[in-house]
Amino acid sequence: MRRLIFGLVVVSCVVVASTANASQVISTHDGTNMSLGVNGNGEAMLTYTAEGRVVHVLASGAVNALAPTQETPQVSFDLGYDGGYKEYYTDNPVAQAAVKSLRDLQGQMTKASSAHNNTLRYALAPKIAAAFKKLASLRDDAANYWKTFSCPKYDGPALADVMAACKAPDGSYWAIQSWPRLLPDYGVAADARQSANEVHLSHWTGDIPALAVHVDWAYGGQWHHLWGTYTYKGGGVFGFKSTAQGAPLDTYGRNLYVDTLDSTYGAGWKRENSFLTHKPGGSWCYSVNPHGSHPAGTGSQYRMTILGPGVAPDVSTTVNAPGPYDRAAQAPGNAALSALHDPICIPH
Give the tens place of pLDDT for each residue, 48-81.
888 888 999 999 999 999 999 999 999 999 999 9
Mean pLDDT comparison of 33-37, 97-101, 189-193, 274-278, highest-scoring range: 274-278
Cα within 13 Å of Cα(221), Cβ side = 9
Q: What pLDDT does 63 receive? A: 96
Cα distance between residue 339 and residue 336, in whole Å:
5
- Return mean pLDDT, the chain: 90
12-26, 91-105, 269-283: range with highest mean pLDDT: 269-283
pLDDT at 224 (0 to 100): 97
Compute how many other C-beta atoms are within 10 angstroms of the C-beta atom of residue 82. 18
pLDDT, mean of residues 10-22: 34
Task: Inform me whether the pLDDT recorded for 10 exceeds 70.
Answer: no
Band the pLDDT of 37: cuts 50, 70, 90: very high
Query: 138 pLDDT exceeds 50?
Result: yes
Which pLDDT tens digit goes with each residue over 41-50? 999 999 988 8
Q: How far apart are CA 339 and CA 342, in angstroms?
A: 8
* Region 191-206 average pLDDT: 92
Average pLDDT over residues 326-344: 93
Strands in 198-204's sheet, in edge-to-edge order, are 25-27, 198-204, 173-179, 162-167
* DSSP β-bridge partners for residue 49: 32, 54
Q: Residue 272: pLDDT band by 50, 70, 90 thresholds?
A: very high
- 167: pLDDT strictly greater than 90: yes
Cα separation values, 114 from 100, 106, 111, 286, Å: 21, 12, 5, 81
CB contact burial 267-276 (16+ within 10 A = b; e otherwise): eebbbbbbbb
In this prediction, residue 28 carries a pLDDT of 74
pLDDT for position 24: 66
Phi, psi of 114 (to 5 degrees): -65, -30
Q: 318 falls in which pLDDT band (50, 70, 90)?
A: very high
Task: Give the pLDDT score at 344.
Answer: 93
Q: Are 282 and 275 in contact (CB under 8 A)?
A: no
Q: What is the structure's pLDDT at 202?
A: 96
Question: HEC string of 83-147?
Answer: CCHHHHHHCCHHHHHHHHHHHHHHHHHHHHHHCCCHHHHHHHHHHHHHHHHHHHHHHHHHHCHHH
Highest mean pLDDT among 92-96, 242-246, 273-277, 344-348: 273-277
Confidence tier at 185 by pLDDT (50, 70, 90)? very high
Q: Tell me what pLDDT residue 30 has.
A: 67
